[in-house]
Amino acid sequence: MDTEEFRLPRSREANERLHAMIPGGAHTYAKGDDQYPEDLAPVISHGHGAHVWDVDGNRYIEYGSGLRSVSLGHAHPRVLEAVRREIDRGSNFVRPSIVEVEAAERFLATVPTAEMVKFTKNGSDATTAAVRLARAVTGRPRVAICADHPFFSTDDWFIGTTPMSAGIPAATTELTVSFPYGDLPATEELLTRYQDEVACLILEPAGHTEPSPGYLAGLRELADRHGCVLIFDEMITGFRWSEAGAQGLYGVVPDLSTFGKALGNGFAVSALAGRRALMERGGLRHSGDRVFLLSTTHGAETHSLAAAMAVQTTYVEEGITAQLHALGERLAAGVREAASGHGVGDHIVVRGRASNLVFATLDENGRPSQQYRTLFLRQLLAGGVLAPSFVVSSALDDADIDRTVDVVAQACAVYRKAVDAADPTPWLAGRPVKPVFRRLA
């Protein structure tokens, strides 16, 4: 479809209704219409497998499903069967359900490097609980976050370090320090500078690049030597790197780790897991000061825990992680070939592990560009590809990948014209997309 003919009138109207009642027009900033070309932010009606339909009736091949959470595809039958079974039995009780026992056993069998687990609803709750626990067991105030990883929590200890820090006291932000990924000497210097003050190191064990040999083991040694807690944020790497997470793949065991995203295939469930000696401090069977770890009314909702168990079973029995890697490798190869064939291989760059691909849009001088990203997204949307990233789900098939590559090739042809003109403006048809974290709206 010609981008000049591609219009989303019902989605535009729905976006106006969203903004009238919901701050930001979405419940996650990364889903905001500012992340899409002007007036081309589809509002979703429904989804099935690797496809979604907007309220205007357009069908898209979808990537990055549910911000990486729907890794099996929408409305997956095994997950829905498990959820329906539990809904008919009640969802929340005044005492723990037997489902909580079964879900914990299943999780700890899937992630054997952990000794205890506690479930909650979202990733921020889990990471904040990990930070509080680390502060409690060490008696130290500071949190060291990896500066190269974009997001850890909606809570003050992290958001205060971003450009969207309004409303957060400076005294809180000052307690959060940062270290660069992959640089052990710099991390050791930080721990030495704040000797006996850093409660924890928190990072994603891997991101767009693989950890260098010995890096994660080196962090483990640094944390042990300096007496701080090592926390792996496995919200993204969990299941996509291996069923046992990145810690299972790389063989380095953190003190605490957090899981979410893929854990429920779109249903609201996340987990804090880790060593018994630490986790039990949030329990009843110890003699120390109690830690208010996680206490959420809906944290053990039975149908979400059933979804998590079904997801883990599906991953193990059907080899989902391997499927994600194979699909991602096919997609990355196709996109790179299409970009290279149109002379923009140095401008549209696919990065990351095959199961977790993102793309960079670079201008004629090789610099990241929101304008070129806008151009690229417009072309993809008009071709029926909804792709804020190239993160795959296992519901994709070869035909979906081939169609995506065809649309990317068409987009690359337009991209080439813009690069030759050194000006993408004629192809934007409105304001460029914006970064999520910025000081002003």
Q: What is the pLDDT of residues 12-36, one digit of tens each?
A: 999 999 999 999 999 999 999 999 9
Residues paired with 119 in a beta bridge:
271
Order of strands, sheet of 116-120, starting from the edge strand that comes earlier in the sequence: 116-120, 270-274, 256-259, 229-233, 198-203, 142-146, 176-179
Per-residue pLDDT of 275-311, as tens digits, reads 999 999 999 999 999 999 999 999 999 999 999 999 9
pLDDT > 70? residue 2 = no
Calpha distance 273→226 (Å, rounded): 22
Distances (CA, A) of 356 to 208, 321, 377, 439: 8, 11, 18, 28
The helix-helix angle for 215-226 and 184-193 (nearest 10°) equals 10
Could you identify the residue written with the tokens 């002379």? 343
The mean pLDDT of 199-209, rounded to a whole number, is: 96
DSSP state of 42: P
Calpha distance 96→103 (Å, rounded): 12
For residues 122 and 294, is the Cβ–Cβ distance under 8 A? no
Per-residue pLDDT of 143-189, as tens digits, reads 999 999 999 999 999 999 999 999 999 999 999 999 999 999 999 99
Q: Which pLDDT score, from 0 to 100, does residue 14 have?
A: 97
- Enter the tokens of residue 147: 């500066």
Could you tell me the pTM of the whole model?
0.96
pLDDT > 90? residue 4 = no
The overall average pLDDT reported for the chain is 96
* CB-side neighbour CA atoms (13 Å) of 38: 9
Per-residue pLDDT of 81-110, as tens digits, reads 999 999 999 999 999 999 999 999 999 999
Calpha distance 355→311 (Å, rounded): 16
Calpha distance 88→84 (Å, rounded): 6
Largest CA distance in the chain: 70
CA 155 to the chain's CA centroid:
16
Distances (CA, A) of 308 to 110, 239, 436: 11, 12, 29
Range with lowest mean pLDDT among 4-13, 99-108, 132-141, 228-237: 4-13
Q: Which pLDDT score, from 0 to 100, does residue 5 have?
A: 78
Q: β-strand 116-120 against 270-274: which pairing, if any?
A: antiparallel
- Enter the tokens of residue 231: 């926390």
Per-residue pLDDT of 350-363, as tens digits, reads 999 999 999 999 99
Calpha distance 205→249 (Å, rounded): 10
Per-residue pLDDT of 24-72, as tens digits, reads 999 999 999 999 999 999 999 999 999 999 999 999 999 999 999 999 9
For residues 404 and 4, is the Cβ–Cβ distance under 8 A? no
pLDDT > 70? residue 1 = no
pLDDT > 80? residue 132 = yes
Calpha distance 87→92 (Å, rounded): 10
Is 359 in a helix, a strand, or coil? Answer: strand
Could you tell me which residues come within 8 angstroms of residue 281 by beta carbon, excluding any fewer than 6 positions away? 133, 136, 137, 288, 290, 291, 293
The mean pLDDT of 69-80, rounded to a whole number, is: 98
Could you tell me which residues come within 8 angstroms of residue 78 by beta carbon, excluding any fewer than 6 positions away? 310, 313, 314
DSSP state of 211: P
